[in-house]
Amino acid sequence: MTGSISNHELCILNTECGRFSDAAIKEIEKLGDVTHVEADRSYLLENVVNYEIMLIALHNTIDREILERATNLKYIVTPTTGHNHIDCDFAKEKGIQIISLRGETEFLETIRATADLAWGLLLSLIRHIPSAHQDVLNAQWDRNKYYGNELKAKVLGVIGYGRLGKMVAQYGRAFGMFILAYDQHKFSNKENTEFVGLDELLSRSDVISLHLPLNKHTNQMLDQNLFQKMKEGMVFINTARGEIVDEGALIEALKSGKVASAATDVLADEVSLDQDWLKNNKLVNYARSNKNLIITPHIGGVTYESVEQANIFIIHKLGHYIRNEKIL
């Protein structure tokens, strides 16, 4: 869209109002006539036609069926870096712009929530925290069941050395780990990080943390072949996107001991429209009867601080777009 929207009051749909503070809501309402609702798919299908701007997060999948009914929609606004919950190609075809956090490097450098979670998941795995807690609730107090491992002198492999990968590497250094990194871009070695090829990282790392964006090159990238190249008994963490990992291959690696334990904050089919997708997910079914896999419901960016910062930033960015003062 190249021209500015006319001066009438814009109709804005805020589909996940529960995540917005009073301060953020006041900022949205400066931009137009806002409907605040916790919208499900049926609501969107029936009502999206009435709006020019739609604010979403990750609760709904905005697919072709919804977009076909969005005949007045000009902007989809999402305080996320990933777009896999939106049919971006069809949105572009319809002239709908997507306003997101993608590419907002300076702002994103201030958001550490997902890196924090990745490290929390790692500590939970190597010290058996969830199982130990559950045993206490079950009236058991046996510390000898829960020998864990330390991180000092272990090798941390970071796949994707962008914003989050660098943050996780910082945590690794603080714990006395040696850092390997794989990234398509070349970086200087000022941070005491050794950049290596992917195969070398897989074979040398005691812990691997995944921080790649989802695209046509990374979809199903971590397949059976790459899991076989990993060091025996390593620990695997995924806070990126579920689609990057072949979930069946991960399960086989967990069963064989190639991967001693794993944690994921994301699943490959979390944007599915099938109401039973979670019940039928392979990793979820495996985790029900195995303690070496932790799954969390895509909570990486969900802290009070990060959500508030992202919401205010994306609302202000929308305001700039409306006024034709694009900031990219």
Specify burial of residue 207 (Cβ count, 10 A radius: 0-12, 13-18, 19+): buried
Helix axes 22-29, 304-322, angle to 10 degrees: 10
Determine which one of 270, 308, 316, 323 is catalytic: 270
Calpha distance 36→46 (Å, rounded): 15
Candidates 206, 186, 203; CA nearest to 195 is 186
The first and second tokens of residue 146, run together, are: 């829960």
Distance of CA 302 to the CA centre of its chain: 10
Q: Tell me which DSSP letter residue 256 carries.
A: H
Q: Quick check: 12 and 321 in contact, CB under 8 A? A: no
Residue 38 annotated among the catalytic residues of the structure: no
The first and second tokens of residue 92, run together, are: 């572009």
Q: Quick check: 149 and 124 in contact, CB under 8 A? A: no
Which single residue is written with the structure tokens 């995540």? 19
Residue 288 annotated among the catalytic residues of the structure: no
Determine which one of 83, 85, 211, 241 is catalytic: 241
Calpha distance 220→247 (Å, rounded): 9
Residue 83 annotated among the catalytic residues of the structure: no
> What residues contact residue 88 under an 8 Å CB cut-off, 6+ apart?
98
Distances (CA, A) of 196 to 36, 189, 201, 319: 48, 12, 6, 43
Q: What is the dihedral of CA 305, 311, 121, 164, to 10 degrees?
A: -100
| Residues belonging to the active site | 241, 270, 298
